Amino acid sequence: MMKIHSTVRIFLLVVAGIIVASCVAAQSGTPNKSISNKSQLAVQIVAQGTTRGAVACARCHGFDGASDGSGAFPRLDGQSPQYLAEQLRHFASGHRQNALMQPIAKGLNDDEIDAVAQYYASLHAVSFPSHSVPEQLRDRGKQVAEVGDLSVRVQACESCHGPNGEGDLISGVPYLGGQYSHYISVQIQMFRQGYRKSQQMFVPAHNLNEQDIIAVADYFEQASRPAGK
Ligand code: HEC
Ligand code: HEC
């Protein structure tokens, strides 16, 4: 009699244990299961951020990666995925300094970085209409971009950033064509002041004068636009 009782009790305890365990598993397991797919994970981060401090990317970069057109936030759409992931790691480590992006990048783990980089890399947003650029400035910008300026030892930007500044997916050199002019010129200042570090960008950032930086930034912003300017 006693023996049957204790067997039943153990049996009931085991059943109860299984029920509790599966409830816990269901609770903690559900969100992971529903975002097991990388692109779903990316969409969730872009729309909602992470609980570890990453703010929803869409707030500043949009869902399409075109950002808001002010030039305060870079376009991310169609950028090389390695480049995007590398920059997020640079923000997280402090190699690249920016008050907004550093805490956000620190709130992403490795898988999340790869997922959001893939997400924005795969998009092709519509370009915003840009301001018009005086012809003389445009010509100078084109010259710096395509030929460089030997008198200050600056080689053509396009020798690394590709024809029309379209970037290089294989080496991960970012595109400049269609990027916001304001963002491009601010980044050149960042390289100059050491908030961003890149051996390849050191000479162009230090040797170009202000006027040429504006000229080349304006040139690239318009470079991706179809014929007809
Ligand atoms: C509050 C606004 C804001 C939010 C939210 C934000 N960013 Fe940014 N992001 C910026 C700014 C500003 C820069 C330019 C930083 C600089 O000047 O170095 C930037 C730059 C970047 C860059 C570098 C691009 C390049 O061309 O070098 C990447 C990559 C990036 N953000 C990804 C993300 C991702 C992914 C998220 C979401 C997890 C995100 N950002 C959320 C404001 C934001
Ligand atoms: C020797 C190769 C090389 C040359 C020449 C070069 N760049 Fe770069 N540039 C790079 C690399 C590599 C990066 C990525 C650096 C990093 O990882 O932060 C970069 C990054 C940039 C960025 C940041 C883009 C972004 O999305 O944040 C800008 C802006 C830029 N370059 C502008 C220029 C301009 C303008 C010129 C010509 C005056 C130029 N570069 C010439 C290699 C080059």
pLDDT score of 104 more than 80 = yes
pLDDT score at 36: 60
Integer Cα distance of 171 and 128 in angstroms: 27
pLDDT score at 132: 87
Average pLDDT over residues 69-75: 93
Residue 73 CA, ligand 1 centroid: distance in Å:
7
Distance of CA 106 to the CA centre of its chain: 14
pLDDT score at 26: 44
Q: What is the pLDDT of residues 129-143, one digit of tens each?
A: 678 889 999 999 999
Sign of the dihedral defined by the CA atoms of residues 39, 44, 47, 52, in that order: negative
Q: Tell me what the pLDDT averaged over the chain comes to.
A: 87
What percent of the chain has pLDDT above 90? Answer: 74
Integer Cα distance of 33 and 26 in angstroms: 10
Residue to mutate (ligand 2; options 97, 201, 206, 209; most atoms within 8 A of CB): 201
Integer Cα distance of 185 and 90 in angstroms: 20
Q: Are 175 and 166 in contact (CB under 8 A)?
A: yes
Residue to mutate (ligand 1; options 87, 104, 201; most atoms within 8 A of CB): 104
pLDDT score of 4 more than 70 = no
User: Does the beta carbon of 190 lie inside 6 Å of ligand 2?
Assistant: no
Nearest CA to 221 out of 135, 132, 144, 149 is that of 132
